[in-house]
Amino acid sequence: MKKNKISKNWINKQRRDIYVRRSKVDGYRSRAAYKLIEIDEKFKIFKNGDSVIDLGAAPGSWSQYLSKKIKNSKIVSIDLREMEAIENTVQILGDFTEEKNQFKIKDFFKSNVDVILSDLAVNTTGNKNIDAIYTGELCMEAMLFSKKVLNNDGKFISKIFMGSTFNEIVTKAKLIFKKVKVFKPKSSRKNSKESFIICKNLR
């Protein structure tokens, strides 16, 4: 009974959500597209010709936006879950933290890349502190990967949760990048601990 009530509340929340409704009209696979759109509008992330890696890409709304936004781009999307094909993108099914998948990504680009995006998050446990720690670990993994494959003037954008690892991640980012900002888009739900760390220019 309790599970049914939670499911019903979630469905009602989705129906009321303006970004869920907009995503259906605009053809995006999820409301997450609008978070990236806000980030791009505020921080001027993408330009034509960029090479981009989309980590934790499923169901694919960020890659959809990239495909529309950037001309003459090279985009690799990777996730543990299968996605429907997206025009102008290459998809890898697997865990980006595995060395074989990192090799596939590097082999595709043959050179350093311009932007790395990470919307990686663990399946929620219901304990927000634990979820923040695990998602923080994924953010750190993505950041260290970025250090290896980004151009000197490259950009790294990642989901980050407010919690015990937040300050550690921001401190680490400032050691790796010259410019670091934390931003919570309007399209991110108010009751969510989610923000995004925006990093530019490797040290």
DSSP 196: E
In angstroms, the CA 188 to CA 71 distance is 27
Q: Considering only the C-alpha atoms of the chain, give the largest distance between any 2 of them, rounded to a whole number of Å.
A: 54
In angstroms, the CA 152 to CA 114 distance is 9
**Is 159 among the catalytic positions?**
yes
Helix (H) or strand (E) holding 194: strand 194-202
Q: Is the bond preceding residue 185 a cis peptide, omega within 30 degrees?
A: no
- Tokens (6 digits) for 134: 């695990």
R_g of the chain computed on alpha carbons: 17
In angstroms, the CA 165 to CA 136 distance is 6
In angstroms, the CA 101 to CA 114 distance is 19
In angstroms, the CA 74 to CA 107 distance is 13
Residues near 153 by beta carbon (within 8 Å), at least 6 away in sequence: 200, 201, 202
User: Which is catalytic among the residues 159, 172, 174, 186?
Assistant: 159
Q: Mind telling me the catalytic residues? A: 159
